[in-house]
Structure formats: C-alpha cells, structure tokens
Amino acid sequence: MGLETGVTIEEAIKNSRIYAKRGDKLAKDSIKLVKNASSAIIKKLDSTIQELDEKNVNSSNGVELLKSQLDEIKKEISVLPDRMLDNIKCISQKTINITLFGRTMTGKSTLMEILTHGNGEAIGKGYQRTTRDVREYSYKGLVITDVPGIAAFEGKEDEEVAYDAAKKADLVLFLITDDGPQYSEAVCLKKILNLGKPVICLINVKANIDKNTSIKIFARDLSKKMANKRLMSLKSQFLSFGVSYGQAWDMLTFEYVHLKSAYLSQAPDWNGDNEELYRLSRFEYVEKLIADEVIKNGGYYKIKAYIDTVSVPLMTTADALIKNASKNHERSVIIEEKRDKFESWLKKFKERGKTHIEKSLDILKNDIKREIPIFSETHYSDRNAGKEWDKVVKRFKIDERCGEILDQLAKECEEKLIEIYREIEAELKYSSKVSLESDIHMSSIVDGKKIWDWGVVITTGVLTIISFSVPVVGWVALGVGVVGGLISLLFKSKEEKIKEARGKLENKINENLDKQFKELNKQMKKIFEEELIIKQVDPSSALFNDTINTLKSVSKEQDSFAHSLYDKKEEVDRIMIEEAAAYMGISSLRNIISHISRIPGTCISLCANYIFPEELHKNLESLLKEMVFVVEHVEDFNAQISRMIGVEKNRIKIEYDSSRNPIGIRVDIDEVIDPVMVNRIKMAQQLSRLYISR
C-alpha cells in the first residue's frame, strides 16, 4: 500500500505532485458541474421571487419573509462554487503541507524551533499570542504551517484564522499535553476531522529541565511520566470525547514526545548530553512517524485533500437544503390543513351571515310595524305626518342596528381568522422536526386589525365603498341613507292621499316598509359579500394559497438542488474510493460497490453487491482514518435504509406528498440515539436523498 519502502521524503513529494494535478482537475471539474446546477436553481429562485412580487398581496409580511428566505438560499448557492474554488487554490501542487494545531502553550513554537533549528526566540511566548498570524517554514522539502493557538481565552478570531489555514493541509499534527485532555481541544479536533483531514496526535509530556537539572534525575522523572499505563490512561480519556461525536479516534496515530529536551539537544550549551537528551525526548519517533506517513500515504492524502475540499461543502449544503425542503413542505401541509378548515367554516359562515341579516332585519322591521296601527290612527289626516313618521323611525336607530349586525359578522370572521393564525403559529412552533434558522411566523402574514379597516357611505340611496386609506366613518352613514330612502319612498304621493281612510294609510306604510326593507336587505347582503367577503376575507384566503404554493415551490427547488449536490458528492466520494483502491494495488471497486455515502473525517458506508473482503475493509479504515460500514445491497428500498441505519425494517416509514412523491423518511426510535447511529442516519439520508427525522 502506498510507495515502496526505501523511498525518500523528496521522492514522495515528487510523486505527490502527480496526485495533486489529478486531484486539482477532478475538483475543478466537479465545481464546474456544481456551478451549472447552481445557475439552474438560481434561475428558478429568481422566477419564484418575481412571481411573489407580481402578486403584490396586501399585508403579506409572510410573503416578504419567504422572499428573504429565497434570497438567502440564492446567496449561499451563488457563492458555493467560488468558495470551493478558493479553497482548492490554497492546496499546494508542489509539496505536501503539514499544519500544526494545538492550544496555547502545548509546544507548537518549540516544535517549530526543533524542525527549523531555530534560536528559540518564539519558545515560551505562547501566552502572549505571538503566533496570531499564520507562519510557514520548510522541513525536508515539506511545508509546515503554524497557526494561532486554539481554545484560547478571547481567541475566537485566532481560531477562525487557524481553521481557515487548515483547509490547505494534507496532514495535521495535533498537539496536546499530558496534563489532562481538554474538552475545548476535543471540539477543535472534531472540526479538523470534519474537514476530512488525516491527523497525527502528539502528546507533549511536561517534565522540567534546565541547566541545573541532572540528566539522570530528569531521565527518572521523564520515565515515570512516560509510563505506558499513565499515557494510555490519558489517551483513553481523550478518545472518549471522540465516542461522544460518533468518531473512532482510536484510528488516529498517537505518539509521545518531550519537545523541550528535543530542542535543547540541538543547543551548543548541552553538547555533553545532546544525544541522551534527543533519545529521552523520543523525537526520533516523531520524525520517523512524519516521514513514514508522508512516504506511505502522502500521495493519497494529496488527492484526498482536493476531493474533500469539494465533498465537505457539497455535503453540508445538501444536508441544509434537504432539511429546509422537508421543513418548508411540512409548513405547507400545516397551512393547507388550516386553510381547508377555514374555507369549510367560511362556506357555512356566508350562508349563516345572509340568514342572520334577513332575520335581524325582519325583527327590526316587525318592531317598526308594530308602531304603524297607532301611528295611522293618530296621523291619517295630519299634514305633517311625514315628519312625525320620521321621528318614529329615528327612535329605532336603524343605522346603528344595521351597523351592529355587520359589525357582529365582521367580528366573528376576524376572531376566526385570528384563531386560525394562532393555531398555525402554534403548530409551526411545536412541529416535530427541527426548526429552521429562517422561520415564517404566521402571525405576521395578516394584520388582524388592519384587515377590518373598512366602511361604507350612502349617496342618494346608492352604496359607495370608501377607499381603505380613508378612516372608518362607521355605520351611521348607512342609517342616515336608509332613513332618507324610507321617507322618499313612503311619502312620494302621501299628500294626495292624506284624506283617505287610515286603513289605506296603514297598508301603504306596510307596503313601502316591506319594499324598503327588501332593498335594505339586498344592500346589507351586498355589503356583507363585497366589502367583507370579497375585499377582506377572500384576500386572506389568497394569502393562505400564496404561502402554501410558495412554500411548496421553495421546497421543491431546495429538494431538487439537494439531489443534484448529493449526486455530485457520491460521484467524488466514489473517485476517492477508487483512488484508495488503486493506492492499495486493487484494480477497481466499481463492480463491488453500488452506492457510497460518506461523512468526511468520520465514517463511510458502502453498499456492496458482493461479499466485501475483510482485509480490504481494514485497509480502507487504516488509509481513510474513518469508520467503514459495509452494507449488503438489496433492491427493497426500506430494507436498504433499515440496514444502513441499523434498525428493523418495520421502523422505517416513507412519507409522501399529495401526488404520492416521496418527501421524507420517519424512523420509529423511542430509545436514545447514540452518535454512531446519528451518523448512520445522515449517511442513509445521502443514499435515499430524503430528509430523515425521528
């Protein structure tokens, strides 16, 4: 596996250039395809945004939020190819880059002084954060990159610089000390491994030595500190952090060293004990380890660096997109259910509203009619009967009572809408899947108060709608108009018939009152239909539909792009596996492996058509430094997913949309999910191209 024994570091570096050229081409070809796919989905996003703009729905803050989400997606997708290209350009094609990582005071500066035979100026100044800038130096033709210390107090900016520099590394030396593993160090190591970088862990043992120290006493103290049992205990503590992340850190190479004595062994003042100091430091094992790793696997690490520069962002972007797609579809279903509930209620409300108007007006009319016999008895010969009847009618406050009828209907409708919006908001808030960064709060889609900001006036007996920008005038105007109409209709020929019998007067009043209330009933229903239902409620229903359609459209576009990214990721991961096979002297694994899913730096799942050789399994894990799961390929989709996750088939449930298209997978798991299963679920998601949730 790798290069033949006896090859020098210089020859290994020269050989790595061949892999670098191949990796560079593979990565750039992949980025071109990603760029093409990005352009296609950006066009779709632009089209969707334009459609939302053209709808121009009133009070639709929800639509604005959707547009913001689309803009964010568009922004992320548009910069993805260039971001990957920038990272590729950082990788050297001429040599192998080894990056030093470690928290402040772990010995990074001392290691640099040893490798460069420096004068020691940087040693012991880590607390002053002298390595804030990235520094590079040469060691046997290799480029060693020293980055700012990680996990330092107020060192967030330094860490960002360090992680950015790590992207160009082919191999990482991760320094820790023997004074106990730190959680912050484990977090940093996880981030480096998530970039797909191979790592060698160096444990720098702390044992004091200066010019006054006896070499024999130092050797005794160092021997105790480097006791195998003690160091294995420290290593085990550190490895336990990896278990919590679902990563097998026991696959990493660990070496113990005393860096200070290695540095002092190069100093002229220690001439008499130089060789002994160097032997005690165990630095010869470190140098041999670096050389062996470069010679044996340097070429493969080089091509892997290029591939993972593409694979990592493809995975993270696809995972985010498919998660968002599932969430947006879930939202659309919730809103759709509430819309159907509202429309069912609205259908009944329309009929009930018209009936309510009729009954209320009948009651009002009958109340007035009860006054007619007495009025006719008293005023059948009164020349001022019109004015007197006007006084009678005004006592019934028709304008206010009509206003109360419509206000009651408007209030009922408003309360129903608010109830629906609250239900939607609650269900979105407590939906079972993980929420998104860009939430859509339904309470902001429609302003419950603004929607009822409307009124009517009557001019010469004809209803005229007030513009929404005009303040509400109330229902008094309606009553005034109605009264005026009643008078004009009732007393059109009254003076000619004033001398007729009171019976005829009574009949005429009843006849005209029926006619006027018939017209009033017609006008009230018209207001109810046109001003409340058509102009106010129907736009609210349209908001439901706009939101549902937009969410579905966004979900579909996110899902489609996630699929294309997963396809490309599987393609580059397959190239990586093929390169690994070639590196191990195997012609090809193409016929053996049907599908590949991978979390760079953590694990890989191979769906095998045939029995996968155990030795090949072990060699792959050794080369990749990742857990390898081999799963037998089967045609049954549910069975394949269940095997990848490691649960029974009956626990896998495929979710479908209304058109019977699969949109997600639910896994029935009651017990606590361990980190390894979480990673297996993520890989099953890559295989299925469907968001998997609990």
pLDDT digits (tens, 9 = 90+) for 370-410: 988 888 888 777 777 778 888 888 898 888 899 899 999 98
Beta strands in 395-497 (DSSP E): 456-459, 462-465
CA dihedral 245, 248, 253, 256 (to 10 degrees): 60
**135-149, 203-217, 412-426: segment of lowest average pLDDT:** 412-426
Q: Is the pLDDT of residue 601 over 70?
A: yes
Provide the residue ranges of all domains of the chain, joining segments of one domain with +: 95-310, 323-560, 586-694
Q: What is the pTM for the complete model shown?
A: 0.78
Q: Is the pLDDT at 338 greater than 60, yes or no?
A: yes
Q: Report pLDDT for 118.
A: 64
Least confident piece of the model among 52-56, 265-269, 606-610 = 52-56
At 201 the pLDDT is 94
Classify domain 95-310 at the CATH class level. Answer: alpha beta
- Arithmetic mean of pLDDT over the chain: 80
CATH fold for the domain made of 323-560: Four Helix Bundle (Hemerythrin (Met), subunit A) (1.20.120)
| Res 550 pLDDT > 80 | no
Pick the closest to residue 687 from 648, 642, 651 (CA basis): 642
Statement: residue 65 has pLDDT above 50:
yes
Hey, what amino acid is at 658? S
Model confidence pLDDT, tens digit, residues 658-668 = 888 888 999 98
The pLDDT of 466-472, averaged and rounded, is 23
Residues in Cβ contact with 304 at an 8 Å cutoff, skipping those fewer than 6 apart: 23, 196, 198, 576, 579
What are 631's two structure tokens?
């799963």
Indicate the pLDDT class of residue 422, thresholds 50, 70 and 90: confident
Residue range 185-198: average pLDDT? Answer: 90
Using H for helix, E for strand and C for coil, what is the string for 59-125? CCHHHHHHHHHHHHHHHHHHHHHHHHHHHHHHCCCCCCEEEEEEECCCCHHHHHHHHHCCCCCCCCC
pLDDT in tens, 199-217: 999 999 988 888 888 888 9
